[in-house]
Structure 1
Amino acid sequence: MNGSAARGRVVVVTGASGGVGRAVVRAFAARGDRLALIARGGAGLEGAVRDAEERGARALAIEADVADPEAVEAAAQRAEDELGPLDIWVNVAFTSVFAPFTEIDPDEFRRVTEVSYLGYVYGTHAALRRMLPRDRGTLVHAGSALAYRGIPLQSAYCGAKHAIQGWHEALRCELLASGTRVRTTMVQLPALDTPQFDWVLSRLPRRARPVAPIYRPELAARAIVYAADHPRRREYWVGGSTAATLMANAVAPGLLDRYLARTGFDSQQTDTPRPADEPANLWEPADTRRDFGAHGRFAASSHQHSFQWWATRHRGALAAATLCGAGAASLAWARRAGD
């Protein structure tokens, strides 16, 4: 083990103050990595630093808007100056608007795109400027099942995730062609119990909610850490619902359009009216004074584990077990036939 690995790797996490980003901070901190945490909300960042330090890790809080490429570049440089050469860059930061497309203003759509898509582009540019000359490093992009399958009321978010998917594929091809040892991978996530449903700008009549089944953000964090350690795969799917959605969309997208047209509005809203004073983090962070943490309102109905994700990580062993089982069954059949 080299000196850098012995001290823990240097990991940058965007969107580190809440939700998936916050859970990712905790997961990397638990194994002793040094963390640069990028987000806008001061209270959330302070909480993320506490989380990391409680787990024995060093953490550097950097208030920056990922939609500002100069701020992202400055954050990357500060991370290297204070923590050392970057090993892993995790893009998580996003914002969105819950509303029908016709109720989203052009400047709001632009803002979602700048944060949720271009923020990944700017972060990756900053990381590659440092990783490519050293010929090492890993980029992990938090994606979604919605990177392939758009749903109603989330047109801005779906557009950004689709953009990330296409951009990631092009980037991966270029890195492979160059022969560099820098790797890029994407993790397609399911519906998660995070604070986004309490702080994303909403014009829905009722409170927003994730589409069931809902998973806890720790599952996403474990998948992102695993992807960072195993970046040769182009992407990972997390959750049975993600796998089912992507396969259904590949086979019968038109039928899925009609199904979502019937169910997609009610399934993304609770029975409770949306509060008039609900915060919105589109233009300003919602966690400037309040630390929202990693979880949302749906802990009681969310799942911590996923058999699909377990199977993804152990697919070699499962394949071997399946072959052994098939071989044993064939041998038994042959013996019975011989009798």
Structure 2
Amino acid sequence: MTQISLSGEVAEAVDSGRPVVALESTILSHGLPPGRNLDVARRLEETVRAAGAVPATIAVLDGVPVAGLSPAQLDRVCAADSGLDKLSLRDLGPAIGLGRSGATTVASTSTLAHQAGIGVFATGGLGGVHLGAADSWDISADLGVLARVPTLVVCSGVKSVLDIAATLEVLETNSVPVLGYRTDDFPAFYLRSSGFPVPWRVDDAVRAAAVVTAHRQYAGSGVLLANPIPPESEMDRELHDRLLTDGLELLRSKGVHGKDVTPVLLEHFHTASGGVSLDANEALVLANAKLAAEIAVELA
């Protein structure tokens, strides 16, 4: 059986009970352009360290799941010609069995982090129920994994291209607590509010950690902590709505669906916004990494 390979630093932290924060690699290889992705990758790890935790960026390299990428491995993941597959949970077995390399999504990162003994994970946005899922059955594997894996996922809600009401309903059905961090509104990635309320609110890392600790005594599901994008980085709503309308039309015209939706839509936002969405994406994921590290410290 292929085991997950931990860097020396991550292995020591896990064994000694020190705080560790898992970080995904799909945002680096499929979400940000070359050059900027490596800069963000390094800043994410620096942010986690500055808050007192150990970063564990996760990917699958040559058939081996790795938690805690070395600088050389991080360079490889962020290279323009990396050719990494996008690996959700269903793809881990084939990629590992065939010796392939790939970047991990929320679903696969959460699963590998749990296997490694890491209970806190910071990302940008969660996958969810796609619009029209009643006909297409297009629902992100992220939700199913959160239902089964007791990981705390810190994110900025879900992208507005998704059916947010249905996404929240699926989380409720699967006993996944949804917390708003210093907000009563569920965020929509580039926007601080989706118009839907969150069931519970926490205003500091101590209370968030208390909720996670209590939840783990009664359920095997994960916890979702929705942290709105910093106010100064929120995208102008008029610009956002225009980009979203054009992006949805682009998806329809190209027949894009499933795991290809997010990268195509992100690329449209990045290109059509003149870089505004890139700045927003970077700001929110860095804020989530900082908050996740603060909570990991409290949990430890």
What is the TM-score normalised by the length of structure 2? Answer: 0.36
What is the TM-score normalised by the length of structure 1? Answer: 0.33
| Larger gyration radius, structure 1 or structure 2 | 1
